[in-house]
Structure 1
């Protein structure tokens, strides 16, 4: 990297990386929906999910590397770091839950898992759209609307989780209760992580508009 590239802010580098990271999250969320809706070839799908998670990790590391060597950044360094971390957290929970379903040998998925996975996917799409909006922040209201929608989806996920756990405790199989409760709760946490990313994006939009 030459002295010009080191001194002059390379907006495209950070925004391109964040766009790619958000796209990776959406890709993982789509695969999660496929897993719970078509619960076959689970081992292979979980392997693909791990590949996506590794790709996301590489993007996150690249963002931090650029932060460490770039003198001027298009956003505050802590904003970029927070957003990269929030996106990485979503991906970790999506991947972690898919791995958990396979390791727990969940025999079949159910309506609650499908609902939660779809809420994660919808949230990921909104987050991706908001991430792409911060490149220029020409439409801060549009970014904020996407963030509000993510918050709404997270509230719905809370309700789905509550009903799923209530129904789960009608069974007497303790092992099944433990396994499914873990899966439900981690799926819901993924929506929480989407909300964290949305809150970070909302703060960025407000601060730089």
Structure 2
């Protein structure tokens, strides 16, 4: 398969995907602020809603571009799917921050910090990968590392759940914290979905 040289229209897609990746880094940083017990949860939630809104705008611009352009960087369906998967990561992070505020969570499980660290690293790697979509080169390590991080997060997730149901939390508190923890797990799972899709695109376009 002969790869065509990206033109100005195609180049705009790469810029938009890089923008989407940058939104994820911002979102993960806001989630990390929740680890500070003194943080103003409402302020963090407001900032996250604004960040999620900006991410939505970028996603809409990608969809609008793919629907109106004759030239796209790779398969149109894959452009749609990649934009949607990136948006899913942001949505799950927004959900996490919103739940912490709505539930008025006072203390998160200790191991939650490990999940946030994985989330931040995954978002940083994904943002870097989005800047390398042009040419689809040097992305294999990204896919491998995201899968490794997701496996690590799964193990931590199981430990957190075991701790939540270990008897030291009140029932209502368990239910609230479980929702928060699940939202982070979903965000990390969504990062793996992005990586798997990128891997598929690389294979398909090679």
Distance 2:176 2:67 in 1: 41
Structure 1 vs Structure 2 CA RMSD: 1.4
Distance 2:35 2:195 in 1: 25
Q: Which moved more, 1:9-18 or 1:153-162?
A: 9-18
**Does structure 1 retain, via aligned residues, the 8 Å contact 2:108–2:177?**
no
Structure 1 residue 34 displacement after superposition: 2.1
Distance 1:191 1:22 in 2: 14
Structure 1 residue 82 displacement after superposition: 0.8
Partner of 1:198: 195
Q: What does 1:33-44 correspond to in 2, within 5 Å? A: 33-37=32-36, 39-44=38-43
Instruction: Give secondary structure in 1 for the equivalent of 2:194.
Output: helix
Distance 1:174 1:61 in 2: 41
Find out whether 1:55 has 2:54 as its counterpart. Answer: yes
Structure 1 residue 55 displacement after superposition: 0.1
TM-score, with normalisation over the residues of structure 1?
A: 0.91
Find out whether 1:178 has 2:175 as its counterpart. Answer: yes
TM-score, with normalisation over the residues of structure 2?
A: 0.92
Partner of 1:155: 151
Distance 1:81 1:114 in 2: 32
Find out whether 1:167 has 2:166 as its counterpart. Answer: no
Distance 2:92 2:70 in 1: 32
- Post-superposition Cα deviations, 1:18-57, rounded to whole Å, max 9, x if no partner, equal 1101110111111211222454111101100110000000
**Does structure 1 retain, via aligned residues, the 8 Å contact 2:14–2:134?**
yes
RCO higher in structure (CA 8 A, sep ≥6): 2
Instruction: Give secondary structure in 2 for the equivalent of 1:108.
Output: coil
Structure 1 residue 136 displacement after superposition: 2.0
**Does structure 2 retain, via aligned residues, the 8 Å contact 1:39–1:108?**
no
Structure 1 residue 9 displacement after superposition: 6.5
Question: Unaligned regions of 5+ residues in structure 2, if any?
Answer: 1-6
Question: Unaligned regions of 5+ residues in structure 1, if any?
Answer: 1-7
More helix by share: 1
